[in-house]
Amino acid sequence: MTLSLLFEVAMLVSSVCGFLVAAWLLWRARKQGDLQALAGFAIMMAIWCFGHVVLFQGYERIGIYIILANPLMPTFFLHFAIRFVNSGAAKEVMLDRLLQAVPWFYVTSFAVVLQSWWMGAGDAIGTLDTRSFFIFTDAGTWNLAYTVLIGILAHGVLLFGWYRHSGNKKRSILAMFGVGAWGLLLATSFVFPSFGISWFPYPMLLLPTYLLLLVYAVVRYQILSVNAFANRALLWVAMMLVILCLIAVISVVSGRVGLQALADVPSWQLWLYSLLMLVMSALIYQPLNRLISRVIYPGAVLNETVLEVWSSQLKEAQDWTQLIGIGERLLSSQVRQNVDIRFDSVDETQQEDNGQTLALSVFRSESGWRFLLIGWNDASPGMRLTAEVFGSLFSTSCGLLERSLALAVAERKRLDEQHLVELGSLSAAMAHELRNPLNIIAMAAYDSPPETRQHIQTQLKRADRLVSDMLVYSGGLTLQISTTPLRSLVKSIVAQAQLEGISCEVNIPESIALEADPQRLQQVFINLIDNAVAFLRNQPDGKLCIEATMNADAVVILVHNNGPEIDDSLQGEVLFQPFMTKRAGGSGLGLAIVRRIIDAHGGHIQHRADTAWPVTFELILPQHSAYSRLGNTSHDTK
């Protein structure tokens, strides 16, 4: 093979690669302006290389005209560089202005090309084994200078982008600079004959690699399929190099071991035969792989499309029931048999496999979601493989749904807490505003008849109590922690209470003292005693008992009364919710305020129905406040 023929083949391969790369970029680019401009660069480079082929075939005038269009190549590359560097959130004013001037660069490049055609800026000389080769004439100096200038400007834009950007884009620009240096090395030999240097342009034989490396440097961080293609391409190159080395070793060793016929075969033929075998192996690999899979796993049709459909449909599930429904439909459709999917515990999955019903058992373990096939012993290998792949994907979907539901619960809780804060602020504002009209009503009723004034005063006290409770419940609690003797506190509250003939017994040892806010604790007992008196008032033998005991780190307080038992509908947490009451004239906030104060102290309150009394409230308060242990005397809680 002569050098001129080798050069022609290299130019033809570069041209074909350029058109293929341009078509692929246009297919992937869609609305990406930078890749469209890069596709234009690939097309112009393909046309430019084809111009050399045309020139070698004897069509000198056409070939010269095509090669003289080379200013359009760096113009397309400049357009690409501007769009590539200026893409993303951050826009540069200078690049925006340069982008607006791109049409003028194209117009100028066309003008230079037309001027080069008109002035005869190119010619052909007989070199390279008497084959024609392009050279610039004196009139082509402007063409060459303009092409170099636009190329420098394009790489200057890339240099600016490398300085301004970071991450993948910066790495892409750095890779483009490396490829640009490679392209400059290859293209330099093109102008040697124009300067009278009689040297064969060997570097241009590697020109097909420049365009492929440039495109790979641009899109390797944007399109993952390019990396997969590059991975396969590098594997092929490595395998061809290994074959080349093996052929060299075989050529040397075969004659010495008695295989003279093999030693007489030219090395390039051995390498060519091996390369053809490698190509044939690559072509039949996928069909053979599918055939063998069907022989080993008959009935299993698993590919990327099926897995993508499974994954996308399982992600649509919003709850566990929907996830099971989608999973059973997908797996049953794939294996053409009914399959049950169920959630079990780890122990339940150890049941015997009876082989009668196909089932996929999914369970939560310490290491995450796992699955177990039940009833698949008599299934074909293909069905088992399908079930195992689906089970793995379904287990992953369970983990995703679990995290999604947990996030949804947390978000609902956050919104509920935000709503409660807003509602508390609104209640506090309304309570403050209600006090003004209540005061006006009280003053207006001063001159009314005594019976009417008494009735108005009673209702005003009730309204004022409701306003006070709303302010306490909706506002923030400020705890002033101090050592509080419990017995003396409760005795003082009982002495001031209007018991109206109700007997009250206090069984609290003198030694019990709490680290608590005495004012807030006083409010707790006032609300509990008032609530009990309201129900005991019309009962002939009303009794109230308050007792307390102390264990290692807490004080347990029991408040009993022999009033009517609490309705079953109000048992549990409902009893302590605001506005949940059957007490006539009550605000419905008394027990809610009590629980809020107890919670602020780090304690707990509950209603107990297992004592000898009809009604018992149990309060558990820490003997030593957490705030006092930290050295604080006050604490604000919302």
Question: pLDDT tens digit string along 52-63?
Answer: 888 888 888 888
**375, 347, 346, 348: which is closest to 360 by C-alpha?**
375
Q: Strand (E) positions, 314-444?
A: 340-343, 359-365, 368-374
Answer whether residue 635 shows pLDDT above 90: no
630 pLDDT tier (thresholds 50, 70, 90)? very low
- pLDDT tens profile 134-150: 788 888 888 888 988 98
Amino acid of residue 549: T
628 pLDDT tier (thresholds 50, 70, 90)? very low
Q: How far is CA 79 from CA 28, 90, 189, in A?
A: 18, 18, 26
In this structure, of 291-300, 328-337, 428-437, the range with the lowest mean pLDDT score is: 291-300
In this structure, of 85-99, 177-191, 221-235, 453-467, the range with the lowest mean pLDDT score is: 221-235
Mean pLDDT over 316-340 rounds to: 88
Q: Which two tokens stand for residue 226?
A: 């390019």
Q: How confident is the model at residue 163, as a pLDDT?
A: 82
As a whole number of angstroms, the distance between CA 490 and CA 505 comes to: 11
Q: How confident is the model at residue 106, as a pLDDT?
A: 92
By the 10 Å C-beta count (0-12 exposed, 13-18 middle, 19+ buried), 183 is classed as buried
546 pLDDT tier (thresholds 50, 70, 90)? very high
As a whole number of angstroms, the distance between CA 27 and CA 22 comes to: 9
Q: How confident is the model at residue 468, as a pLDDT?
A: 67
As a whole number of angstroms, the distance between CA 351 and CA 363 comes to: 13
In the chain, the percentage of residues whose pLDDT exceeds 70 is 76
Phi, psi angles (nearest 5°) of residue 521: -65, -35
293 pLDDT tier (thresholds 50, 70, 90)? low
Strands of the sheet with 368-374, listed across from one edge: 340-343, 359-365, 368-374
Average pLDDT over the chain reads 78
Mean pLDDT over 25-46 rounds to: 77
Long-range contacts of 596-599 (CB under 8 A, 24+ apart): 596/473, 596/477, 597/477, 597/520, 597/521, 597/523, 597/524, 598/524
The secondary structure element, H or E, covering residue 484 is strand 482-485
Q: Which two tokens stand for residue 451?
A: 């019976």
**558, 579, 557, 580: which is closest to 567 by C-alpha?**
580
Mean pLDDT over 489-501 rounds to: 85
Answer whether residue 594 shows pLDDT above 70: yes
616 pLDDT tier (thresholds 50, 70, 90)? very high
The secondary structure element, H or E, covering residue 175 is helix 167-188
Mean pLDDT over 535-546 rounds to: 85
For the chain, list the domains and their CATH numbers.
3-219 (1.20.1070.10), 237-296 (no CATH), 304-404 (no CATH), 476-637 (3.30.565.10)
As a whole number of angstroms, the distance between CA 521 and CA 176 comes to: 75
- pLDDT tens profile 7-24: 778 888 888 888 887 887
**DSSP character at residue 220:** T
By the 10 Å C-beta count (0-12 exposed, 13-18 middle, 19+ buried), 159 is classed as middle
- pLDDT tens profile 362-398: 888 887 888 888 888 777 777 888 888 888 899 888 9
As a whole number of angstroms, the distance between CA 26 and CA 36 comes to: 6
Q: How confident is the model at residue 370, as a pLDDT?
A: 87
Q: How confident is the model at residue 560, as a pLDDT?
A: 92
In this structure, of 260-274, 348-362, 375-389, the range with the lowest mean pLDDT score is: 348-362
By the 10 Å C-beta count (0-12 exposed, 13-18 middle, 19+ buried), 569 is classed as exposed
Q: How confident is the model at residue 631, as a pLDDT?
A: 41
Mean pLDDT over 345-350 rounds to: 56
Q: How confident is the model at residue 179, as a pLDDT?
A: 79
Mean pLDDT over 450-464 rounds to: 74
Mean pLDDT over 73-87 rounds to: 85
Query: Is residue 619 a contact partner of residue 559, using CB atoms and an 8 Å limit?
Result: yes
Q: How confident is the model at residue 296, as a pLDDT?
A: 59
Identify the residue whose tokens are 């079990």. Answer: 344
As a whole number of angstroms, the distance between CA 574 and CA 572 comes to: 5
Q: How confident is the model at residue 626, as a pLDDT?
A: 52
State the sign of the Cα–Cα–Cα–Cα dihedral 20, 23, 25, 28: negative
In this structure, of 112-126, 212-226, 265-279, the range with the lowest mean pLDDT score is: 212-226
